[in-house]
Amino acid sequence: MDTIISISNLSKVYANGHQALDDVSLDIKRGEILALLGPNGAGKTTLISTICGLVSPTSGSVTVNGFDIEEDYRQARELIGLVPQELTLSAFESLWHTIDFSRGLFGKPADVPYLEQLLKDLSLFDKKDQEIHMLSGGMKRRVLIAKALSHEPMILFLDEPTAGVDVGLRKDMWKIVHKLRDAGVTIILTTHYIEEAEAIADRVGVINKGKLLLVEDKDNLMQKLGKKQLIIELSEAIRVIPESLASYALVLSKAGNKLTYHYDTTADGTGITTLLQRTREAGLSLKDMQTKQSSLEDIFVDLVEEST
């Protein structure tokens, strides 16, 4: 896959001296879903806003499909749709009018069938003649997506698309994102919900205090940093862990019927085979076993703690 957005050594220091971005370099691949994960104030919105032209970079450069965001801003911005974090909409105009405005603003000729289909896809079509202030919060969120997609962008930025959104709508949003990706749109979303990045992203970038800590394929990231747990359930509870198993750093549950073993899937040997053998030799009988992958959340917390 080739690169659609290339960010080189991007830094931003605001007028008040706050460094929101610190030497960020990142290549975003065409057609991928990239999740930028980070706590509040990490610099996610600043990064997106800079690429979209809302914030001037202090240093560094960004190209979008080969176009520099400052020198060739017209060509670069034409390709981008932005869904902001806040529900920033004018209240007293109709839904149809607002998306029609967005399309015209990006220089695209009117296309009624396209906009109608867009509203249908976002389950907004029956509201098209209503004024914005009549719509619910969830609908307004979708209106912002419709505005961003009204000019058929190649790249879609979603800034905290599911912040303050209920579970049902969040799932809907994920569906929309997948559908767009299938249609060839590159999607960059910011989130502080780890489950969101885990559920929909192809790659995950972790950002904290303006620094991009890492960017990895989601699966690789989970494998690379993800520890697995093996939980062994015993038929009969024990009080102490047998001497022969001491080297495995097992954790015995309070009830004494579960042993938990932490292992690294990427290590040369996981040690599971010998562990099980020794368990049998120690005279313990197994009732059940399960393995658990640590979530992106655990990985994330580890990374952010390391960087602070």
| Residues making contact with other proteins (CB under 8 A) | 14-15, 49, 52-56, 73-78, 80, 82, 84, 86, 88-93, 97, 101-102, 104-109, 147
**Shortest distance (Å) from residue 160 CB to other proteins:** 14
- The residue among 86 and 219 lying less far from other proteins, judged by its C-beta, is 86
Q: Which is nearer to other proteins, 49 or 162 (CB)?
A: 49
Q: How far is the CB of 101 from other proteins (least distance, A)?
A: 5
Instruction: Give the E-state strand segments of the chain in sequence order.
Output: 3-13, 19-29, 33-37, 59-64, 67-68, 80-83, 155-159, 186-191, 203-208, 211-217, 227-234, 251-252, 258-264, 286-293
61, 68 contact by CB (below 8 A) = yes
The smaller minimum CB distance to other proteins, of residues 71 and 233, is found at: 71
CB of 22 to other proteins, least distance (A): 16
145 vs 201, beta carbon nearer other proteins: 145
Using an 8 Å Cβ cutoff, are 285 and 236 in contact? Answer: yes
- Indicate the residue among 20 and 122 with the shorter CB distance to other proteins: 20
For the chain, the farthest-separated pair of C-alpha atoms sits apart, in whole angstroms, at 77
User: Whole-number minimum distance, CB 296 to other proteins, in Å?
Assistant: 30
Least separation in angstroms between residue 113's CB and other proteins is: 18
CB of 104 to other proteins, least distance (A): 3
User: Is the CB of 58 or the CB of 229 nearer to other proteins?
Assistant: 58
Task: Report helix, strand and coil shares of the chain as percent, to nearest 5.
Answer: 35, 30, 35
Contact 102, 95 (CB under 8 A): no
Q: Provide the 8-state DSSP code for 110.
A: P
- Let me know if 72 is exposed, middle or buried by CB neighbors in 10 A (0-12, 13-18, 19+): middle
For other proteins, give the closer residue by CB, 82 or 299.
Answer: 82
Are 20 and 172 in contact, with CB atoms under 8 Å apart?
no
What SS3 state is found at 241? coil
> Rounded distance, CA 260 to CA 249, Å?
9
Beta carbon nearer to other proteins, 103 or 170: 103
Name the residue among 127, 153, 121 with its Cα closest to residue 140. 127
Q: How far is the CB of 118 from other proteins (least distance, A)?
A: 16
Nearer to other proteins, 69 or 232 (CB): 69
CB of 211 to other proteins, least distance (A): 20
The CB-of-207 to other proteins minimum distance in angstroms stands at 18
- Alpha-carbon span 232 to 209, nearest angstrom: 40
Q: Which long-range contacts (CB under 8 A, 24 or more apart) does 98-104 make?
A: 98/132, 98/143, 98/147, 99/143, 99/146, 99/147, 99/150, 100/150, 102/147, 102/148, 102/150, 102/151, 103/150, 103/151
3-state secondary structure of 65: coil
